[in-house]
Amino acid sequence: MALSLMPGVRIFSAVDTTEFVVVRAPAEPIELIIGGAPAALSPAARPWTAKVSAPANSGTALGRRYVNLTETIELLCAKSGFGMPVIAGEVLRIKQAAPLFASD
């Protein structure tokens, strides 16, 4: 199921406690998988029927931002869990902090 996401929208894993807030999203709908199952747009829509599957081994980190290689989507982890976000087969990675300028 393709989701049309906008900044500020909360998305939920259907298989564990993982939750994200959308910071940046592409204009077109996307297939977002968290922990091996399609993402849900509300806690009530969680079927809780599937188990977390690979590449969910590492889990998510609270307060970290997750992006794809082109950084067209950015998700902020609001509640950690074992489910990693995946778009089109690409596991989202933790966004690296930009280096600060040195002050002399």
Which residue carries 């199952």 as its tokens? 37
How many whole angstroms separate alpha carbon 57 and alpha carbon 8?
27
Q: Give the pLDDT confidence of 6-18 residue by residue, as tens digits.
A: 999 999 998 888 9
Domain assignment present for residue 100? The answer is no
Structural domain containing residue 41: 10-94
Q: Give the pLDDT confidence of 28-47 residue by residue, as tens digits.
A: 999 999 988 899 888 877 66
Domain assignment present for residue 2? The answer is no
Query: Is the CB of residue 19 less than 8 Å from the CB of residue 40?
Result: no
Domain assignment present for residue 72? The answer is yes
| pLDDT for res 98 | 85
| pLDDT for res 100 | 84
Confidence of residue 101 (pLDDT cuts 50, 70, 90): confident
DSSP line for the chain: --B---TT-EEE-SSSS-EEEEEE--SS-B-EEETTEE-BSSGGG----SPP-TT-SS---TT-EEE-TT-S-EEEEEE--SPPEEETTEEPEEPPPPPPPP--
Which of the two residues, 55 and 86, has the higher pLDDT score?
86
Which of the two residues, 53 and 67, has the higher pLDDT score?
67
The count of structural domains within the chain is 1
